[in-house]
Amino acid sequence: MPSAITARLLRPAALLSAAVIATSVAGCGSADEPSAAAPKPSTSASATAGVLGIRDPWVKAADKGMTAAFGTLVNDGGADATITAASTDVSPVELHEMTMKDGKMVMQPKQGGIVIKAHSSTVLQPGGEHLMLMDLKRPVRAGDELTVTLTFADGKTQTFTAVAKPFTGAQETYAPGHGEPMAGTSATPGVSMSPAS
């Protein structure tokens, strides 16, 4: 039977050996495997790996006419990213902004594209910059998922999925020539049309 002195000396040696083995095993993992403690990227699960992270992407549900896509675009890179175009399978898409003209907020195409500064984010939102889906080919119902493709100034593309939600806010005024059926009427219920000149 071992003496108390031998047991006291063996206990720290056993603990040290266990620590060395645990450290060795942990170091055997592949560098390509993500660590469970690694931070999660800011992209939504619906965005493909690409230039931007896209948080909370959604599109306003609509039966016909026009609707818009929104979300937060996150640029963790060291250079500005400029979106120059966007597309979906349900409609042509224009990049839009809201601006003040003659004392009214009006929507117009965003000249020069939507810029997301390096190490920053840009919110696409009702009443602000957004992706305008023009002349819907089919209704976009609450719960539908739309694939949106962004095209950047450098030619790269990135896709994400936006979920359709009902939304009644941001009753924008549309400038002429932006998908309205005829002057003075609206393809989207509750939206007034007036010249933005």
**Residues counted in the chain:** 197
Instruction: Say if residues 147 and 159 touch (Cβ distance below 8 Å).
Output: yes
Q: For all residues of the chain together, what is the average pLDDT? A: 74
Judged against a pLDDT cut of 50, whether residue 32 lies above it is answered with no
Q: How confident is the model at residue 1 (pLDDT cuts 50, 70, 90)?
A: low
CA distance 178 to 173: 11
**Amino acid type, 44:** S
Distance CA 179, CA 174 (A): 9
Least confident of 11-20, 79-88, 105-114, 119-128: 11-20
Instruction: Give per-residue pLDDT as tens, 118-155.
Output: 999 999 999 999 999 999 999 999 999 999 999 999 99
161 near 114, Cβ under 8 Å? no
In angstroms, the Cα distances linking 128 to 98, 145, 154, 168 are 5, 22, 24, 15
Q: What is the pLDDT of residue 160?
A: 97
Among the residue ranges 110-124, 143-157, 161-175, 180-194, the one predicted with the least confidence is 180-194
Q: pTM value?
A: 0.64
Secondary structure of the chain in HEC code, one letter for each residue: CCCHHHHHHHHHHHHHHHHHHHHHHHCCCCCCCCCCCCCCCCCCCCECCCCCEEEEEEEECECCCCEEEEEEEEECCCCCEEEEEEECCCCEEEEEEEEEECCEEEEEECCCCEEECCCEEEEECCCCCEEEECCCCCCECCCCEEEEEEEECCCCEEEEEEEEECCCCCCCEECCCCCCCCCCCCCCCCCCECCCC
Residue 185 clears pLDDT 50, i.e. is over it: no
Amino acid (1-letter code) at residue 7: A
Looking at per-residue pLDDT, the higher value among 134 and 20 belongs to 134
